Amino acid sequence: MKRMLMVWCVLAPALAAVGCAPPEEPVEPVEPVEPEEPLEPEEPVEEVITPNTAVHAVQGEMPSLDPPYMLSADTNIGFNVYETLTLWLPDQGVVPVLAESWESNDDATEWTFNLRQGVTFHDGSEMMAHDVKASLDRNIDIGMVAYNFIGIESIEVVDDYTVRVLCSEPRDVPLVLSAGYGMFIYSAEGAERGTEWFAQGNDAGTGPYTIERYEPGHAIVVTRYEDYWGGWQDGQFTEVAFEMVEDPTVREAMIRGGDADITFGIPFTSIEGLQALDGLTVYPYEAFAHVVGAFALRNAPLDNVQVRQALAYSFPYEDVHEGVFLGYGSIPKGFGPTMLWDPPEGFPRYELDLDRAAELLDAAGYGDGFQLRLAVFVGQAQNIEAAELWQAQLAQIGVDLRIEQLSSGAFWDYAYTPEQDEFHIMMVTASGDVASPWSWLICYTSSPLGWLPLVGYDNPEFDSLVFDAWAKEATAPEEADELWVEAQRLLYEDAASIFIYDEPMVVAHGDDVVNRIGFAKDAEGRRILQEEILSTINEMVAECCHASGVAQEHIY
């Protein structure tokens, strides 16, 4: 349009001059010319999207289809059907998704988010600021990840496409809103309908897929939402069946036999054999997953710091690294993936030393031995094997470790019951939801909002370090890093738990599947590759293939 206006500006004076000057000689009349037939308007070319189905074998049941309750395998559905305002990438930091841009005041207590316009929910209604407010307010009220909303006071609607978040103290709100749990945006109408409506297989998302069929305990089938704001390209899966398969050996058989196109959580011992098969791609990758032996500190004898230190010296870290995880992953120096905090040179770490462990037990008055009960998820082969290796070491110093496998529901019932006295230790692969040590260390504060309350660690100095660091993430990240290190040092000195492993994950997929997140986009509008996501937020995001972007036979 600007170019056309410039042309008219140049021509207008010349035309005016010609029009005002009388002709010097009479002008011969010109024979009228018959007008040409008008051109027929070109028919719009309709993009053809070929029907294309994939099967994703997921690790276990879907506990909930209500967005704020999605904390496990159900996030595979969540990240295909719903979206968040922002997304965190390791090489870029926080990037826009449903929010196009944002700004804050100087002390990071007031944040304004400008929403992407033209985004529609699966019922065809447009996403607006009141939907964002309704989603986040409900997520806060439900409180499944209440720790991430600590310090956030209110969400305000400024206008149809603008939302303001007010905080009582500095917060990196764009980072908070990128969390893998509890941040999905859905329609205000869906928020009003509530959990029972979602449980029937209904959805209210903006994502590339909508739920087509739900068979509780067996499968969920999603189909493409044709009006998805991110668009579609031929070759992407138009339908994905998420089959719920808890047993890793069954998932492995499915990928071997072609009954599944993609799966995660394959045993490490299967990597070499699967890699030898034609037509399969298998590889481990670093996820935000961390194996911890969480102590119930209220239960004797774990209320004794010397006993806890003895247990930390009794764990066979190297044997687990080499024998269970086959050298993949790494042994941490604290709680949570080491990639999220930077331990200085020489930062201490417990190593296997049975003589030192026995000395500490004698000093604590437990040299004659005792019994411990440990809970682990059923089907978590690596964690079970690690526990068994530890069991053998403990037997040498008179400690009888009893291992019990629990279902996911039973495990978390105990984990959320601080006064339980059934188990002394709970071994779990912890997956945080924000790219910060906050996601893990909140569990060791005295706040009742952490996701592993059975630990019961009570140290005011530790609390202060964690909450100060979280506030400084928004305004002074380098200072925050120093505080995270000091908080980890306290956990080491108090042996608050056994920090076992930065656990990698294993993905297996057919060679004709290009594993990528096709619809999330960065600030420049380019599509974000799955591989960039796999090493980011947590096991939940890693497991989710955003199958809308899983394409066959070509890479974009």
pLDDT of amino acid 34: 52
Strands of 219-224's sheet in order across: 209-215, 219-224, 239-244, 53-58, 262-264, 497-510, 280-295, 425-431, 370-377, 399-406
Predicted local distance difference test score (pLDDT) of residue 46:
61
Cα(192)–Cα(424) distance, integer angstroms: 41
pLDDT at 391 over 90: yes
The band of 61, judged by pLDDT with boundaries at 50, 70 and 90, is: confident
**Nearest in space to 73 (alpha carbons), one of 429, 322, 371:** 429
Mean pLDDT of 56-79: 91
Structure-model confidence comparison of residues 356 and 272, the more confident one: 356
At 416, the amino acid letter reads: Y
At 296 the pLDDT is 96
Using CA atoms in the order 372, 375, 380, 386, what is the torsion angle rounded to 10 degrees?
-20
pLDDT range class, residue 186, cuts 50, 70, 90? very high
Compute the average pLDDT of residues 397-415. Answer: 92
297: its two tokens: 């500190």
Higher pLDDT, residue 365 or 26 = 365
Per-residue pLDDT averaged across 97-126, rounded?
A: 97
Which comes out higher in pLDDT, residue 32 or 474? 474
User: What CA–CA distance (Å, rounded) separates 211 from 81?
Assistant: 7
How many CB atoms sit inside 10 A of residue 494's CB? 17
**pLDDT for the residue 451:** 83
Query: Quick one: pLDDT at residue 423?
Result: 97
Split at pLDDT 50, 70, 90, the class of 44 is low
Across the chain, mean pLDDT equals: 84
Taking 70 as the threshold, does the pLDDT of residue 109 lie above it? yes
Range 115-119, long-range pairs (CB < 8 A, 24+ positions): 115/85, 115/161, 115/162, 115/163, 116/229, 117/161, 118/229, 119/206, 119/229
- Tell me what pLDDT residue 37 has: 56
Torsion of CA 528, 531, 535, 538, to 10 degrees: 70
Alpha-carbon distance of 65 to 446, in angstroms, equals 31
Instruction: Specify the pLDDT at position 474.
Output: 93
Task: State the CB neighbour count (10 A cutoff) for residue 267.
Answer: 17
Kindly report which listed range (14-28, 123-137, 260-274, 294-308) carries the lowest average pLDDT score. 14-28
**pLDDT for residue 13 is more than 60:** no
* pLDDT tens digits for range 208-243: 999 999 999 999 999 999 999 999 988 888 999 999
What pLDDT is attached to residue 246? 85
Q: 521 pLDDT exceeds 90?
A: no
Best CA proximity match to 397, nearest among 500, 501, 309: 309
Cis peptide before 301 (omega within 30 of 0): yes
Instruction: Please state whether beta strands 370-377 and 399-406 pair in parallel, antiparallel, or not at all (unpaired).
Output: parallel
Per-residue pLDDT at 335 exceeds 50: yes
